[in-house]
Amino acid sequence: MDRRKFLATTITAGASASLTSTAAAASNDKTIRIVGVSCSPRKGKTTATAIQVALDAAKAVDSRIKVELIDLGGLKIAGTSGGSTSAEAKQPEDDFELEVLPVLKAPRVPDAMIVGSPSYFRSMSALCKAFIERLQVFREPKLQLADMPLGALAVGAYRNGGQELVIQEIQTAMLCHEVMVVGGKPRAHQGATLWNAYKDDIMKDEFGIETAKQLGIRVAEAAIRLAEKRG
Ligand SMILES: Cc1cc2nc3c(=O)[nH]c(=O)nc-3n(C[C@H](O)[C@H](O)[C@H](O)COP(=O)(O)O)c2cc1C
């Protein structure tokens, strides 16, 4: 299975641009690329499903929007090795380098991102923190994720299991990239909050699924506004 098939459980038609796209081709590309990242160690479970719901809602907003899910489930990603630059840090050659980074960069950094994590002890997962730390590489030589709309999503087994805290942690960490944090529409003002109360069948959490949709719509609208401003 090739790298992109392995990572992206859903890639919409047209989103699977060649890794070898030239910069010129990318600059003519009027598509708006929204990438969702599921940070549960369990591939294809509730966090991934909820992110896909948000992406599908985002895609329905405008025909220019292409969406892509990166499911980190099963991947081995270490946190940063430290050092103020990636070169200094000598990051490990793990799945972030080998599998995630090429997808994140191809054909260009995303126009918007939705990051989701399960609530683990009322915090983001270690995988989510490791992923965000490794985004350090996008801070050099300049902040490449600056002004990118960022939405956050969290799933917990309890109704009040720390979902909003997890969202806040993701938002706070991602602000180091100078992203533009966006919430959702009504009922999802901070982000998408889901309750895994039905044995991993997250689609049964009607309220939570609605917040995922609202988040996707809001992220899409923000990405469109920015893309139109850029021209
Ligand atoms: C170690 C661990 C800690 C957890 N802590 C919480 C918690 O604090 N609050 C909560 O609501 N759910 C907690 N959960 C449950 C998960 O958040 C929940 O099952 C979630 O749906 C898992 O996401 P996934 O289906 O994408 O793997 C915990 C699960 C594990 C394994």
Q: Write out pLDDT tens, residues 100-109.
A: 999 999 889 9
| pLDDT for position 28 | 63
Q: Is the CB of 161 under 6 A from ligand 1?
A: yes
**Mean pLDDT across 170-194:** 95
Residue-wise burial string across 63-81, b where 16 or more C-beta atoms lie within 10 A, e elsewhere: ebbbbbbbbbbebebebbe
Indicate the average pLDDT of the chain: 89
| pLDDT for position 86 | 67
| pLDDT for position 106 | 87
pTM for this model (two decimals): 0.90
Q: Is the CB of 162 under 6 A from ligand 1?
A: yes
Indicate the pLDDT class of residue 96, thresholds 50, 70 and 90.
Answer: very high
| pLDDT for position 13 | 33
Give the CATH number of domain 31-230. Answer: 3.40.50.360
How far, in Å, are 78, 167, 190, 193, 208 from residue 205 at the CA level? Answer: 32, 18, 18, 10, 5
Indicate the pLDDT class of residue 73, thresholds 50, 70 and 90.
Answer: very high
Pairing of strands 112-118, 180-181: unpaired
Q: Is the CB of 49 under 6 A from ligand 1?
A: no
Half-sphere exposure of 48 (CA within 13 A, CB side): 18
- Give the atom of ligand 1 at the shortest distance from the alpha carbon of 158: 11
Ligand 1 centre distance from Cα of residue 105 (Å): 30
Say yes or no to pLDDT of 19 above 50: no
Ligand 1 centre distance from Cα of residue 209 (Å): 17
Q: The tokens of 116 are what?
A: 């989701």
Say yes or no to pLDDT of 161 above 50: yes
Digit-coded pLDDT (tens) for 6-16: 444 433 333 33
**Cβ(62)–Cβ(224) below 8 Å:** yes
- Give the atom of ligand 1 at the shortest distance from the alpha carbon of 47: 26
Over 110-168, what HEC string results?
A: CCEEEEEEECECCECCHHHHHHHHHHHHHHCCCCCCCCCEEEEEEEECCCCCCHHHHHH
Q: Is the CB of 46 under 6 A from ligand 1?
A: yes
| pLDDT for position 8 | 46
Indicate the pLDDT class of residue 174, thresholds 50, 70 and 90.
Answer: very high
Ligand 1 centre distance from Cα of residue 52 (Å): 18
Indicate the pLDDT class of residue 27, thresholds 50, 70 and 90.
Answer: low
Length of the chain (residues):
231
Percent of the chain with pLDDT over 70: 87
